[in-house]
Amino acid sequence: MAVLTMARSRLRLNVFHNLWGVALPLIAALVTVPPYLRALGEERYGILSLIWVLFGYFGLFDFGLSRSTANRLAKIGEGEPERREIIFKTSLLMNLALGLIGAFSFAIVSHLTLTFIVKGSESFHIEILHALPLAALLLPITLVGNTFVGRLQAEERFYALNGIQSFGAVAMQLLPLGFIYLVHISLSVAMLGCLVARSLWVFALFLTVARTKHPGRASFAPAEAKELIKYGAWLTVTNVVGPILVSLDQFMIAYVLGSGAVARYSIPFNFAQKATILPGAVTQALFPRLSSLSGAEAQEMANRSLVAVGGIMALICAPAILLADFGLSLWISPEFAHAASNVARTILFGIWINGLAYIPSCLLQAQGRVDITARFHVIELVPFVLILFVLLHFFGLQGAAFAWVIRVSIDAALLFGVTSFGRATALGLLPSGALMAVAWLGALWAQPTTLVALSLALTCSVVAVGSLLLTTPYARQALHLLLPGRATH
């Protein structure tokens, strides 16, 4: 019990650090999207979004090594410092080699894919041709940086890590935009800014890790490489199938409706995903803790985290659903809001469901059961493609959004089906689930005016907080888990 109490205290502080670590990137993203759209236009912005989707897919060349490194180092703890260094150096060298191979593959595949999908002028295709080699160089740099991230996560150095992650994310928003305005409006110039920003991020990670005293001169160890790959093998399946599940809708939209339509889907989708900052912060802090705790203690910590995540995610998503039209009109334009607000509302409902699934997925990975999530993703792939194809053709962008929500709902149901979240957890989630349903149905059917939406959003927030605090002691304890306590570094 003493171990669990200490773990909760440390977890509260780590989650708090993770949450503030995303505040600046979120603000930077909100501020920079309108200037990006004005400078690049919807069609060029849609192409840039597709490049990033492809880049995310080629993250599979990590082969789960970053997560595997964090898991292995967390299990070893502070003991065996020489072995820790060997594991880290082995992972670093493997990710560098895989990143170089992945860069070459990315340059070829992305060129063939975008040339086939993008239906634009010859000048757009020339821009794509010039931008892709720079995007390819990002891959080895990113994979090396992810290895440093895995080490800092295992050591629970979230204060330093989040400072660097914030710096890197803000730089990735501002530097490309600055390059576009100061140098030339083109995709290749934007990618050059991204390359500079990502290089600065990796350099900051390197300096942070280098400040720690390292015992001896570690070298590549084939035996440790084998263990890292054994854990990462099923994560690789997830890394192959997962990006398809996340990004296939945008490619199909580009092919069926044109690259300009991608912006009207990807912008609300990407910013609805900002709500997953909360479950992302929780699972980033949970993973090393769950990796080191026993099965029963890990399950108890996951139970409490899930209830808190569900309630606070509803506080974010329910008002956002009601204010989608008003927010997009104010942020970008009324015309854009008219085309994208219903898409945003549907995706926000799915984001709440997807956010819940972060917790059982993290628990399974921490317990070494990475094969389960990988198998689920493989099972979901073909049905998702069929549903997406049908709904996109019949209902356009809204159909694509519905297909995505169906997919994440099935994924969450499968994950909860194989983990031991009991009746108390389900009761704790009931108020937030009801709140989300009322907000989505109300926005969809009533189409409230701005003033009514603001009033409803405020009411939703009050109801969500009250229900979270009053339903059960279990929920109150879960909320306390995510607040910064008196834990010390």
DSSP class of residue 62 equals G
Transcribe 345-372 into DSSP letters.
HHHHHHHHHHHHHHHHHHHHHHTT-HHH
For residue range 106-140, list pLDDT tens digits in order: 888 888 887 777 666 666 778 788 888 888 888 88
The pLDDT, as a whole number, for residue 352 is 92
Can you tell me the distance from the alpha carbon of 31 to that of 26, in angstroms, rounded to the nearest whole number? 9
Grouping H, G, I as helix, E, B as strand and the rest as coil, residue 80 is coil
Q: Using 70 as the pLDDT threshold, list the residues of the chain that sit under it.
A: 1-26, 59-63, 77-80, 118-123, 213-220, 230-240, 242-243, 259, 292-295, 422, 444-489
State both tokens at 134: 């720079």
Transcribe 264-299 into DSSP letters.
HHHHHHHHHGGGGHHHHHHHHHHHHHHHHS-HHHHH
For the whole prediction, is pTM greater than 0.95? no
Please give the mean pLDDT across all residues of the chain.
77
For residue range 31-72, list pLDDT tens digits in order: 888 888 888 877 788 778 888 877 877 766 666 777 777 777
Q: Which helix (H) or strand (E) holds 331?
A: helix 324-331
The pLDDT, as a whole number, for residue 121 is 61
